[in-house]
Structure 1
Amino acid sequence: MNLLGDAIAWIFSGDPGAGLAPVPIALLQHLFYTFVSVVIAAVIAVPLGWLIGHTGKGRDIAVAISGAARAIPSFGLLILLFLLLGVLRTAEAAVITFVLLAIPSILAGAYTGFEAIDRKVIDAARSMGMTQWQILWRVEVPLGLTLLIAGLRSATLQVVATVTIAAFINLGGLGQYILAGIPLRRFDIVLGGALLVAALALVLDGAFALLQRVSVPAGIRAAQSEHRSGPKRTAAPRTAAPARA
């Protein structure tokens, strides 16, 4: 309990010590690498996932590539890219690593969002005379948005946790506290850094959960609410009491 108290006191002390960056600076660095990596991954994976989901082609290849990307150890890839690109391109090595980590979840969320749509809805839109482009943007994208955000949520949490290894190549972030605290035997700093990463992940997870809830179309929300509440009961008509003699 004393260690936890010391860690919390260290977080709010305003002086991390040991030549480390202040907590707000490290937090901004952590968010920067997370945001840039997820955005780049989304630019790559979302159109590809939508194409797979819309046409129904290439799903097996996407699953195989995603599985292979998930199997790559992030730390090993980071060190390999660091050695290949050199010390002047450490940021690029880190971003490439985090992008490759984020792509599988976003890609899966993009195409499964389309696959989860009832085909009858697509057929109805086509029978109304909608073009393929109109079906994509007016039907498939809105209905598949919830699962896409779920993929972005999963990717963001994975990247937030993995950005801590950026400290191994001197890129800062919240991982620098964990890395610096171990040789100094300052376990309050180690625990403080871990708590900051966990708190950031929880905040981002809550934000994405709210966004995922809001992204559900109003008609589907109304149908789900009606399904949970059950059919409305109608009161039986009252019969007039017999007149007394």
Structure 2
Amino acid sequence: MGVFGETWSWLADGANWSGESGVWHLLGQHLYFSVVSLLVACVIGLPAALYLGHIGKGGALAVNLSNVGRAVPTFAVLALLITTPLRKNGDVPTILALVLFAVPPLLTNAYVGMREVDRSVVEAARGMGMSGRQVFFRVELPLAYPLVMNGVRSATVQVIATATLAAMVGEGGLGRIITAGFNTQSTPQVVAGALIVGLLALLVEGALVLASRLCDPMRRRGAAAAE
């Protein structure tokens, strides 16, 4: 039948989708890890990056420090956290490791987006009497929005893919399908797990692309002006 035929058979088997070890249950765990981690990372990274980009101070240092996290393998961080007292707090080590992994792209893109806003536009807005708050929300943030959302999409896809590592330290998520396939030497199951994770990442990124276009403040302003 071949690997792809056997993979399709595995995916078509309803028994593999139900129960605590089934795809639906593991998908729920995977989404929980990913969504919570991204929300926490956004709360930490975006306000700091946008503010530093607005004032133009300290951003380069913050970006460089956050990028240090990219040099450390996520699995190493996760394995280290599992050995600490945090292990008693259930999913905290997994979420914390994913947060550390998600912050760099969020912080970098948001800061760069703010700093790449045309300074002449900013100065013109200030010359019109806008306060610093008005310049931030009505000029800088709308113009930086595309790069900010690129960072969000990048972090989201990376977190969804990396969350599979949680299974390697005994946590849940779609990674359990892959690790179980390795343990039983079932190549079709490994391929099926990888396909599900890849499809999930593509679907979520597509949804974010659509949402970012619909919520683009410049797009809404253009539509309003056309009316």
TM-score (norm 1): 0.84
Alignment of 1:78-227 (within 5 A): 78-85=78-85, 87-214=87-214, 215=216, 217-218=218-219
Cα distance, 1:209 vs structure 2: 2.2
How many residues matched?
A: 221
Change (3 A) 1:8 1:198: same
Letter in 2 for 1:149: M
Cα distance, 1:216 vs structure 2: 6.0
Q: Gaps spanning 5+ residues in structure 2: where?
A: none
> For 2:65 and 2:32, how far apart are their aligned partners in 1?
27
Change (3 A) 1:65 1:10: same
Letter in 1 for 2:76: G
> For 2:108 and 2:26, how far apart are their aligned partners in 1?
31
Q: What do the CA deviations read for 1:181-207 (whole angstroms, capped 9, x no partner)?
A: 112111111111000001001111212
Cα distance, 1:139 vs structure 2: 1.2
Change (3 A) 1:221 1:109: farther
Give the secondary structure class of the aligned counterpart of 1:21: coil
> For 1:154 and 1:171, how far apart are their aligned partners in 2?
24
Asked if structure 1 preserves the Cα contact closer than 8 Å seen for 2:177 and 2:190, the reply is: yes
Letter in 2 for 1:217: M
Residue 44 of structure 1 aligns with which residue? 44
Give the secondary structure class of the aligned counterpart of 2:15: coil
Query: RMSD value over aligned CA atoms?
Result: 2.0
Larger Rg: 1
Asked if structure 2 preserves the Cα contact closer than 8 Å seen for 1:20 and 1:177, the reply is: no
Letter in 2 for 1:74: T
The percent of aligned pairs where both chains have the same amino acid is 39
Letter in 1 for 2:2: N
TM-score (norm 2): 0.91
Q: What do the CA deviations read for 1:106-143 (whole angstroms, capped 9, x no partner)?
A: 00121111112111111111011110011111111111
Deviates more, 1:78-87 or 1:192-201: 78-87
Q: What do the CA deviations read for 1:84-109 (whole angstroms, capped 9, x no partner)?
A: 12542241000010000000000012
Letter in 2 for 1:147: L
Asked if structure 2 preserves the Cα contact closer than 8 Å seen for 1:14 and 1:23, the reply is: no
Asked if structure 2 preserves the Cα contact closer than 8 Å seen for 1:30 and 1:174, the reply is: yes
Cα distance, 1:20 vs structure 2: 6.0
> For 1:53 and 1:130, how far apart are their aligned partners in 2?
18
Q: Gaps spanning 5+ residues in structure 1: where?
A: 223-245
> For 2:113 and 2:50, how far apart are their aligned partners in 1?
9
